[in-house]
Amino acid sequence: MARGFITLATGNKKYYKMAVNMLHSFRLHNPNVPMAILCDGENEYTAEFDDVVVLKNAYRDYRDKFSLLVESPYDEAIFIEPDCLIYHNLDFFWDMLARESDFSCFGWNDGGIDCWFRTPETKQRLLDIVPELEGKTDAPLFNPGYFFIRKSAKTQKMYDECISIAERLKSDSILKNNSAIFGGGNLRDDPIFDIAMAINDFICNEKPKAGKCISLPSKYKINKIDLEKGRLDVTDKNGKQFTECSLLHFSTRKAMEEGLYLWQCTLLKALYPKKKAFLSALLNSKAAEAFFSAFRYVKTRIKWILKGQL
């Protein structure tokens, strides 16, 4: 049985660049583990991956993520979003996710309906559009930045349902104006996965206590970060500390545009594929962190001024 990790990039070239950044950080700490990419065309970025799967009919939007359920080159795969950076060996993901279920993730087994459909009107509208949810009291809630897939008839069915549900929801004016399932005018993939999980009785696994996956860097105070040594220690907004964290999931455009991502990706170039000792030592410092944060801040402010937003 073939096993490996997989990521996704379609459309804008920036997603391919992000995928390669993630791949390089992954290989620092997982050097002998295959990583595939699901994409809409081969290029200089996809050439770095162990396996490349080109989608024949790519949507070039949120729906391409559903294709991971059926298009992986591996029998069992763990998806990692391209806007992540890896700070740890990820072997423990298999122990926690590759269990009996053909689809699994880290998250909660309730709260999905309340999160996305916040009024009685929108909840009823959801049931009218997706009658397959009849009898389900709730849906799982998880961040689809990383999840496990085992290719099977069940994951094929889940794929078909994701595409069908998205088609039914995307043009509904009541939900578009009164629910949280749209972002920037586009349907989000998160609620579609949550709904499809509920229909198929897939459940979430509890997030790991050690090697915790981090969603948004802005929600945590970073106490220690060392890309080369694989060290990431953080404190959450409640003061709880987590050590030896596995990855940073930047998740939003705002987070990607902050200095932390730029700093870490610049450092990554000095570490992979061949370490440049002096440059990596220079970049792996508080002074470098402060420089990149200031650089990104100034650049963003100039962009806003030119656009007339300031």
Once rounded to an integer, what is the mean pLDDT over residues 130-156? 93
Which of 139, 169, 199 lies at the terminal end of a domain, its last residue? 199
| Per-residue pLDDT tens over the stretch 267-300 | 999 999 888 876 777 787 767 777 777 776 666 6
Instruction: With respect to residue 75, please indicate whether it lies within any of the assigned structural domains.
Output: yes
Q: Is the pTM of this model over 0.85?
A: yes
**pLDDT of 79 higher than 90:** yes
Instruction: With respect to residue 124, please indicate whether it lies within any of the assigned structural domains.
Output: yes
The verdict on 168 and 244 lying in the same domain is no
Q: Residue 117's closest CA among 197, 171, 177, 196?
A: 177
Instruction: With respect to residue 205, please indicate whether it lies within any of the assigned structural domains.
Output: no
The verdict on 222 and 157 lying in the same domain is no
Residue 307: per-residue pLDDT:
64
Three-class secondary structure of residue 232 per DSSP: strand
**Cβ-based neighbour number of residue 55 at 10 Å:** 16
CA 276, distance to chain mean position in Å, is 29
CA dist., res. 80 & res. 227, Å (int): 17
Higher-scoring residue by pLDDT: 233, 208: 233
Instruction: With respect to residue 83, please indicate whether it lies within any of the assigned structural domains.
Output: yes
Residue 278: per-residue pLDDT:
65
CB 73 within 8 A of CB 36: yes
Q: How does residue 80 score in pLDDT terms, banded at 50, 70 and 90?
A: very high
Once rounded to an integer, what is the mean pLDDT over residues 37-50? 98
| Residues contacting residue 252 through CB under 8 Å, at least 6 positions apart | 216
Tracing tokens 């989608």 back to the chain, one arrives at: 55
Structural domain including 190 reads: 3-199
Number of folded domains that form the chain: 2
Which of 199, 226, 243 lies at the terminal end of a domain, its last residue? 199
Q: How does residue 255 score in pLDDT terms, banded at 50, 70 and 90?
A: confident
Instruction: With respect to residue 53, please indicate whether it lies within any of the assigned structural domains.
Output: yes
The verdict on 168 and 235 lying in the same domain is no
Instruction: With respect to residue 208, please indicate whether it lies within any of the assigned structural domains.
Output: no
The verdict on 86 and 166 lying in the same domain is yes
Instruction: With respect to residue 111, please indicate whether it lies within any of the assigned structural domains.
Output: yes
| Per-residue pLDDT tens over the stretch 152-177 | 999 999 999 999 999 999 989 899 88
Residue 309: per-residue pLDDT:
58
The verdict on 141 and 165 lying in the same domain is yes
Q: Which two tokens stand for residue 235?
A: 């404190």
The verdict on 133 and 239 lying in the same domain is no
The verdict on 19 and 83 lying in the same domain is yes
Residue 300: per-residue pLDDT:
66
Q: Which two tokens stand for residue 96?
A: 């926690």
Instruction: With respect to residue 70, please indicate whether it lies within any of the assigned structural domains.
Output: yes
Residue 183: per-residue pLDDT:
83
Which of 199, 223, 244 lies at the terminal end of a domain, its last residue? 199
CATH number of domain containing 70: 3.90.550.10
Least confident of 109-118, 203-212, 240-249: 203-212
The verdict on 44 and 161 lying in the same domain is yes
Q: Which two tokens stand for residue 187?
A: 């349907």
The verdict on 254 and 190 lying in the same domain is no
For the packed helices 286-306 and 259-271, what is the interaxial angle rounded to 10 degrees? Answer: 130
Q: How does residue 308 score in pLDDT terms, banded at 50, 70 and 90?
A: low
